[in-house]
Amino acid sequence: MGHGPAAATAARFARMYARTPEGVAFAPGRVNIIGEHTDYNNGWALPAAVNLATFVAWAPSDDGAVRVWSETCGDEAVFEMAEASSAPAAFWARYAWGVGMALLEEGLPARAVDLYSDSSVPIGGGLSSSASFEVALALAYLGEKEAEKVPRERLVHICRRAENHFVGVNCGVMDQFSSVFGAEGKALLLDCRSLEAREVAFPSDTVMVVADTTVRHALGEHTEGYHKRQQECRRAVEVLARREAAVSSLREVTREMIEAHARELGDVLTRRVRHVVSENDRVLEAADAMAASDVAALGDLLRASHQSLRDDFEVSCNELDIMVEVAEGIDGYYGGRLVGGGFGGCTISLVDEAKAQSFCGELQRRYKEATGLDAGIHAVRPGRGAGFKGARCWT
């Protein structure tokens, strides 16, 4: 299997289970370049898979149970995979159980396997470590021959159902879609209502610097903020649908509708809707800017997105704001924002590739000076989607 993370995962599996794995599946995390909290509102997003991924080695188990070791969590879970089985006690293990249960619901094999998982995707950092884990697990349960029979869009929905129904996190579909459909050097302009997507070339000589504030959120354990925003969006749709026949989601809302019904919505819901509507516009503008390699315009759109997430959607936090603020003025910086659900996690910065190394060092220095915290920083470009053995893409 050669060198690299897939080979390392296979070797660790062999040491743990005293046999060679049947294979190694991988699934990348994703950076959502722009389009935050739009996916569950049937809007637009511009995500890209990145070269940070979860790797899962597997082999059939000897006793009919599923056994999974997570190197990231330093923990093992053992459970039965059957219709009447119950969720494991450890929260992280519910993902492994939930993916298997969702496969079974679809009439697909969720084999009893031994699993070893490791990941370079920061947990709770806004880079969709959960979707990365889910997709890699689904491929491992299925194996290469069975996975090739499953349409990719179907797998996206299975993994999302695992997180929504079995784990209890009401995420949208963007994360799983990005992990499965990612393309080298391309972002995906994703219509979250139709799941139609087109590839947009990422500007050459440019990278995304992902900066981990180290402030953690866990959407499944502390869901108040994330789920509250979803509830507020649903309430806003109910208010607007009584007045506007065309409205079935925030996707159909216009700026004129917000102004016309601001009093009925009230201050909080008005600001929530304003973020989603303006963010959808920014996504489409960003795709055009990216296609034209207009990095200055793209950077300005990222800044505007952060301001909207901070002020209208209120999902930022002190450390995220500091990370964005201290990036300003560093040589090579075009613009940036918080990424992911918010309430902690990571920011992304659009940066000149030639200046990325010095940018990362200076950003880390400034952030530590302002907060006393050591940021984890990665420079990434769009990478390919999920596959096997870290070699060929799964199709």
Question: What are the catalytic residues?
Answer: 175
Closest CA to 60 of 101, 112, 102: 112
* Sequential DSSP letters for 117-135: EEE-SPTTSSS-HHHHHHH
Task: Looking at 293-355, list the stretches that DSSP marks H as alpha helix, in order from N- to C-terminal side.
Answer: 295-311, 318-327
Q: Can you read off the two tokens belonging to residue 272? A: 């929530």
Q: Can you read off the two tokens belonging to residue 260? A: 């016309």
- 3-state secondary structure (DSSP) of residue 292: coil
Alpha carbon 334 to its chain centroid, in Å, reads 23
Q: Which residue has the tokens 């190694």?
A: 24
Say which amino acid occupies 123: I
DSSP 53: E
Say which amino acid occupies 81: M
In this structure, are residues 30 and 127 in contact, taking their beta carbons and an 8 Å threshold? yes
Closest CA to 79 of 57, 60, 94, 58: 94
Q: Can you read off the two tokens belonging to residue 242? A: 């009584």
In this structure, are residues 110 and 104 in contact, taking their beta carbons and an 8 Å threshold? yes
Distance of alpha carbon 361 from alpha carbon 166, whole angstroms: 41
Q: Which residues contact 328 (CB under 8 A, 6 or more apart)?
A: none
How many residues are recorded in the chain? Answer: 395
Q: Which residues contact 266 (CB under 8 A, 6 or more apart)?
A: none
CA atoms within 13 A on the CB side of 330: 28
Angle at 302 between CA 300 and CA 305, to 5 degrees: 110
CA atoms within 13 A on the CB side of 250: 30
- 3-state secondary structure (DSSP) of residue 209: strand
